[in-house]
Amino acid sequence: MSATILLVDDHPVVREGYRRLLERQPGLSVVAEADSAAEAYRLYKLHAPSLVILDLSLPGPGGIEAIRHIRQWDRQARILVFTMRESAAVAAKAFAAGASGYVTKASPPRELIEAVAAVLHGARAMSADIARALAEAQASGGRSALDGLSPREVEILALTAAGASAGAIAEALCLSRKTIHNTQSLIKAKLGARTDAHLVWIAAGAGLVAAPDAEPSS
C-alpha cells in the first residue's frame, strides 16, 4: 500500500534532501511541499496526504499552529514533527496539539524512516533523544516553564520571542490585536516575566527560540 506525504519546511534545499530520502523507500511518495503553516493547511486540504512531515520553525504561524489547524479540519490527520528543537517541553506541546510523532533533525535518517512507518500504522513515534528527554523530565518530576501554557499560548510566546509585533502575530493567526495583547499579558503573568527581555529568556530556556546574547537585567 502506497502512502502520500506532505513535506513542510521553509528551506527548499532541506525539503529536496528529505524528499529524496523518503522516496527511496518503497511505497512512499511526496505529493506536495509547503514552506509555511498557511500553505501546509491549503495543501493538506487539496491533497489529503497520508502523512504530514513538518518542521516547527516556520515563518509566521509556526508548526504548532499548523498542527492545530490541520487537526481541527481533519481529526484523523497524521502529523510527524521533524525539527531541530530538542526540548522535551516543546515536544509535549506538539503532541498536545495533535502530533503523532516527533523526530529531531540530529537523529540518524533511519529514525525518521522508522517514525514514518510507525505513524502511518497508527502508532506514536519519537526519536531516541526526545524519548530520553521526555523520560528524564518525567522521572525527575521537573516542570517546564511551558507546562502552564496552552498550545495557542506557546505559539504566541514563540512568535513574540522571535520579535514579531502584536499586529503581525494577529494577522498571522487571524486574531485581533486586542486578543494578542491580552494573551501576551496572560503569558507574562503565568511565567512571571518582568519584562519583554525576560520573556525572551524564558522562551529560550524552554527551547522555543535561540538564546539572546546578553542576559536581561532585573
Higher pLDDT, 83 or 86: 83
Residue 33 lies in domain: 3-140
Structural domain tally of the chain? 2
**Same-domain check for residues 155 and 132:** no
Task: List the one residue out of 73, 22, 67, 30 whose CA is nearest residue 50.
Answer: 30
CATH of the domain at 114: 3.40.50.2300
**Same-domain check for residues 120 and 156:** no
**Same-domain check for residues 88 and 32:** yes
Indicate the average pLDDT of the chain.
85
The predicted model scores a pTM of 0.72
Handedness of CA 107, 140, 123, 57 (dihedral sign): negative
Q: What pLDDT does 67 receive?
A: 93
Q: Which of 6-15, 59-68, 202-211 has the highest mean pLDDT?
A: 6-15
Compute, in degrees rounded to 10, the torsion defined by CA atoms 193, 198, 199, 204. -130
Is residue 15 a part of any domain in this protein? yes
Phi, psi of 189 (to 5 degrees): -65, -45
**Same-domain check for residues 163 and 133:** no
**Same-domain check for residues 176 and 99:** no
Is residue 122 a part of any domain in this protein? yes
Single out the residue in 115, 140, 165 at which a domain terminates. 140
